[in-house]
């Protein structure tokens, strides 16, 4: 009996991973997008964050990751997959970027449908 359970357990794992909701998937991707998690700089909900303060040429400066939960999808997609000052470059598929966008705009279902 134990043996049968052992044989079936990988199937059980698969079965449960199939049942994560799109939002759970999106939230995991936001925190682990094959690279440093977006929340480390942009905050848990993309609200933006102060990363560091420093002095440059006797002037106080701050390095800030901007708010990203109000960026339109086209711009969002372009920036995530390009080289941007201060931000690491990611290599995410359109579906993955769409999932991140969905995570940051949970009420924006209409726009999600236009994403392919």
Residues of the shown chain interacting with ligand HEC in the complex, contacts defined by CB under 6 A: 33, 36, 38, 40-42, 65-66, 68, 71, 76, 79-80, 84-88, 90, 100
| Residue among 42 and 105 whose Cβ is closer to ligand HEC | 42
C-alpha–C-alpha distance, residues 86 and 65, integer Å: 8
Using only the alpha carbons of the chain, give its radius of gyration: 19
Secondary structure (3-state) at 70: coil
C-alpha–C-alpha distance, residues 52 and 4, integer Å: 55
**CB 96, min distance to ligand HEC, A:** 9
**CB 65, min distance to ligand HEC, A:** 4
């Amino acid at each position: 009996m134990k043996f049968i359970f052992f044989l079936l357990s990988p199937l059980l794992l698969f079965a449960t991973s199939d049942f994560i909701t799109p939002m759970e998937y999106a939230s995991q991707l936001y925190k682990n997008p094959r690279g440093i998690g977006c929340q480390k700089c942009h905050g848990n909900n993309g609200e933006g964050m102060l990363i560091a303060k420093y002095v440059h040429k006797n002037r106080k400066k701050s390095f800030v990751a901007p708010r990203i939960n109000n960026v339109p999808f086209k711009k969002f997609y372009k920036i995530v997959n390009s080289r941007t000052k201060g931000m690491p470059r990611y290599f995410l598929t359109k579906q993955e970027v769409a999932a991140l966008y969905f995570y940051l705009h949970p009420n924006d279902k209409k726009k999600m449908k236009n994403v392919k």
